Chain A
Amino acid sequence: MEISREVFWNIEYGLLVYVGLLLPLLIGYAIYRRYSLWQLGKAEDRFEQGRIKAFITEAIGILLHKRLLGIGPLPVSPRELYAGAMHFLIFWGIVLLLVVTALVAVHDHVVKFMHGTPYLVISFLGELGGILALAGIIMAGVRRYVQRPDKLDSKLDDAVTLVLLFLLIVTGFVLEALRISATVPTPEWERWSFIGFGIASVLGMEKVSLLPWHKGVWWFHVIIFYGAAIYFCLSWSKLFHIIISPVNIFFRSLRPKGALVPIEGIEEAESFGAEGIKDFTWKQLLDLDACSNCGRCQDNCPAYLSGKPLSPKKLIQDMKISMEAAGNVHEEEPRALIGEVIPDDDIWSCTTCRACQEVCPVYVEHIDKIIEMRRNLTLTQSRMPEALEAMVGNLFSRGHPWTGAQFIRLRGDWMEGLDLNMLGEKKEIDTLFWVGCTGALADRNAEVTRSLARILKSAGVEFAVIGAEEPCCGDPSRRIGFEILFHEQVQQNIETFRKNNVKRIITACPHCFNTIKNEYPQYGGEFEVLHHTQVLADLLRNGKLKTGGGGEFKRITYHDPCYLGRHNNIYSEPRYVLDRLALPDVIEMSRFGRHARCCGGGGGRIWMEEPVGTKINRMRTDDAIETGAELVITACPFCLQMFEEGIGAKGPDNTALTALDIVEVVEKGLA
């Protein structure tokens, strides 16, 4: 007998499966219904040049499940690896099955090519696809209903989806087995369909009596398939992420990661940010449908992990309900988005650390949504936590966020005795050392500022400072949603930089760094902006700094500041710097690099109270203590303050940990 098979073999009216060609129509209808929901949002241009190229580049990584499996320099946790592997198996299993099915259709109607080896290979691949998918589905079932991780909330749809997929694959195998059993004589090469062959051996070979069974199961299999398809389309099931995720990934933000979007026409606006669901853009609404409810974001959110009311996953899911209510999908009374659907506390709990976005497999943009709501709260409704009111008042009248700090020191005090060039004094100096409010006004951080100034001088870097007149960079205003102040600050600063011919800006604060580097260009201010870790790495690399002493610490660890790491991908420079010093190797904390836990100070949180749950900075301090290190090194003034508070709260009897900025460690380690 020839190595091949007839497609519809035992089945009459088998061609009815091609009703399936109507499936795209059904899917199209489902998408159209959701599309009208996304259209409730405002316009936004996501059709910039380079999008297609970016998508193709990204697609390879996505097909390989790079994010989910943690392929790359920074791996994921075992639990995440399990989920990643599970998705990988289901995804590739189903892809193989679909490809095999499509090839079978081609064989039947276009060119008959499935004879001999091609047939065997294709049957083998089909078999493999089935096994992969089945393994993945079983893993998913175990995860969802046995392991039950906190990040998954199981709804009926999840169970229906798993059961339908499971039945589809199992009936597929049974069908194959029945076909093999009922074929007389059984061809030897059917062994290539190894699972079907295995089951057939149990059923017994050459049993023509099984033919009616084959027919029954065939129809059952087909009905499940169509039933599933109709269910998925009409209920807008989670499986729809198969279609929406790629769309969402295609339209993902191509802005620099750390940049927020400006409010357009802010000077003429009458209201700001998003008060209701329709104030978001269509892309922000598309995000809500793209979310597959996987919980990765929640699992990495410092606010959620420390017991705050915010969960980025819940935020997205709750906003989705609001969107559906606005589009009359359910007969539901629309509730106020801010305050009712999303409580104020959730909005204020976010540290804008980006842990959620960095792990989200479908590139949902949580921070933008939170900031839009903050903008509405602060600018339109004048509603914010009391501590922030004081901070805004201070920003407004004194130009910096540190209420009361001036009682102790003034902005220019840190320069005492350092003999530095003032900006504008020497025309030829085009490098500005931007200190930032915290580095100038907080006592502990001013030590770091002085240390950096000394190192730069000793390495022969020519730079100038603004001193007492240095204003705020605008990050605090922007992150709490008080965009109008940012809007003023940024324009003033750009003017100062231009007037003084500034080309290059060095700063020790990742927040200033991020804002000046990624957000000033929105106002036409393009400068070369360097964080001190980059400058230090360079100076060490080209021998301008000579290392020597400073080996007093036995175990050290490094904390990645969010605005340096996740927002700007600077992970290796600080580690390179530490590597060059006479120090032991860095022992990484359990959450480090892309997954580093936030210190709790970003997004304006450093100026707010933290009455609910555990304090995030104390959790991070515990992470550092767990490594057994005596020294935790960071590269951000907020992180330093947060660690010192955490260490202080532990008390000297309970921990010997010290916190230093990387600059201070370098200064100790110079020859």
Chain B
Amino acid sequence: MNIIVCIKQVPDPEIPPVKFQIDPEGKKVIPPDGVTPVISVFDERAVEAALKLKDKYKAKVTALTLGPDSAKAVIRHALAMGVDAGVHIQYEAAGELDSFGTAHVLMKAIEKIGDYSLVLCGRQAADWDAGQVGLLIAENLGIPVVTVAKKVDLQDDKLRVESVIQDGYHVMEVSMPALVTVSSEIGLSRLPTGIGIVKAARVKIENLSVEDIGADIPEARCTELIKLYVPVRDIQCQIIEADTVQESAEELAVRLREAKII
């Protein structure tokens, strides 16, 4: 069985919120200096899901990413965790693409890799949280999709996927090839092992350009970012002073009523 896992490099979610800056004009996020971007958490879980299948059945797992030069690091990460191969579609302006553009390029890459039974994605990326790309890739490829999986397994020649819903989970049976988006309920992702890191260094990551895979970057985005801002939270504190507790309680009630809270 051949599995392709799509992974994305995102700014480290551990960055303290106060350090997060944006450029409202360029509508861009400016991550602080010296903080290495990381693999998106849900994508890491998708790698874990693939490796769980690999542990149990014979499978070849390929990690696929789209991004600038630095994105190679997430492929290395996946290799160190135990995937077999890595494909990096190097595109410096990947951040400009919207979900449709990204899904198009990834679809082309998947077609180029070819011969796959399962594509795994994180349920959403830890930066924009759009949760679109997986669905759109499946749409583009014309294959079935199951979202927010907590377990992926084989049953005869089909996939058996447990998909998280509010108070429990659905069990779905899907024919292959299929695409599954993975949620954190799949379980903690394994640590890169020493031998994994050593072996990862020996694997040659396949580096392809957008042209190599025959993707046409759409001229315009399908979705447009209108405004990017850090929400301002204004907290004011008033202390009600009165002689007795009763009086202060009355005054508080009046003020709350005035503020239309009660």
Contact = CB atoms under 8 A, between A and B. Distances in A.
A266 to B, nearest CB: 7
A12 interface: no
Nearest to A468: B34
B35 A483 contact: no
Interface stretch (A122-130, A181-189, A374-382): A374-382
B245 to A, nearest CB: 33
A406 B16 contact: yes
B32 interface: yes
Contacts of A272: 194-195
B195 A271 contact: yes
B193 interface: yes
Chain B CB within 10 A, most for which of A270, A406, A482? A406
A273 B236 CA distance: 60
Nearest to A273: B194
A368 interface: no
Which residue of A378, A468, A470, A484 has the most chain B CB atoms within 10 A of its CB atom?
A484
B38 A382 contact: no
A369 interface: no
Interface string A262-302: 00001101111000000000000000000000000000000
A410 B34 contact: yes
Contact of A396 (B15, B19, B33, B77): B77
Contacts of B131: none
Given A410-B34, A468-B34, A485-B197, A396 B16 contact: no
Interface in B188-225: 190-195, 197-198, 201-202
Interface string A364-399: 000000000001001110100000010011001111
Nearest to A269: B198
Interface residues of A, number: 34
A267 B201 contact: yes
A406 B14 contact: yes
Contacts of A271: 195
B39 interface: yes
Interface in B10-41: 12, 14-16, 19, 32-36, 38-39
B201 A410 contact: no
Contacts of B198: 266-267, 269, 484
A613 B198 CA distance: 37
Nearest to B200: A484
A407 B35 CA distance: 12
A382 B193 contact: yes
A110 interface: no
Contacts of A469: 33-34
A468 B191 contact: no
B19 A410 contact: yes
B80 interface: yes
Contact of B195 (A379, A406, A407): A379
A116 interface: no
Contacts of A269: 198
B32 A410 contact: yes
A412 B33 contact: yes
B44 to A, nearest CB: 9
Contacts of A172: none
A498 interface: no
A407 B20 CA distance: 11
A467 interface: yes
Interface string A11-49: 000000000000000000000000000000000000000
A105 B40 CA distance: 83
Given A382-B194, A484-B194, A407 B32 contact: no
A401 to B, nearest CB: 13
Interface string B51-87: 0000000000000000000000000010010000000
B194 A404 contact: no
Report whether over half of chain B's contact residues are helix, strand or loop; otherwise say mixed.
loop
Contacts of A483: 194
Contacts of A267: 198, 201-202
A407 B12 contact: no
A156 interface: no
Contacts of A404: 14
A389 B194 CA distance: 12
A393 B197 CA distance: 12
Interface string B163-176: 00000000000000
Given A382-B193, A482-B194, A485-B197, A398 B34 contact: no
B223 to A, nearest CB: 30
B34 A412 contact: yes
A269 B194 CA distance: 10
A407 B16 contact: yes
Interface in B92-143: none
Given A392-B191, A393-B191, A408 B38 contact: no
A503 interface: no
Nearest to B39: A397
Which of B15, B39, B195, B201 has the most A CB atoms < 10 Å from its CB? B195
Nearest to B190: A382
B248 to A, nearest CB: 34
A554 interface: no
Given A267-B201, A412-B33, A379 B14 contact: no
Nearest to A466: B34
Contacts of B19: 410
Nearest to A411: B34
A406 B80 contact: no
A397 B77 contact: yes
A378 B15 contact: no
B39 A378 contact: no
A66 B35 CA distance: 51
Given A483-B194, A484-B198, A485-B197, A406 B33 contact: no
A231 to B, nearest CB: 47
B191 A467 contact: no
A272 B194 CA distance: 8
Nearest to B199: A270
Nearest to B15: A406
Contacts of B15: 406, 410
Contacts of B197: 396, 484-485
B16 A380 contact: no
A270 B197 CA distance: 11
A409 interface: yes
Contacts of B195: 270-272, 379-380
A267 B32 CA distance: 33
Interface of B: 12, 14-16, 19, 32-36, 38-39, 77, 80, 190-195, 197-198, 201-202
16 contacts: A272-B194, A375-B194, A378-B194, A379-B194, A382-B194, A392-B191, A393-B191, A398-B12, A404-B14, A410-B33, A467-B34, A468-B33, A468-B34, A469-B33, A482-B194, A484-B197
Top-7 shortest CB links A-B? A379-B194, A468-B34, A468-B33, A406-B14, A382-B193, A469-B34, A397-B38
Given A404-B14, A468-B32, 19 more contacts: A272-B194, A375-B194, A379-B193, A379-B194, A379-B195, A382-B190, A382-B194, A389-B191, A393-B192, A397-B36, A406-B16, A406-B35, A407-B14, A411-B34, A411-B35, A468-B35, A470-B34, A482-B194, A484-B194
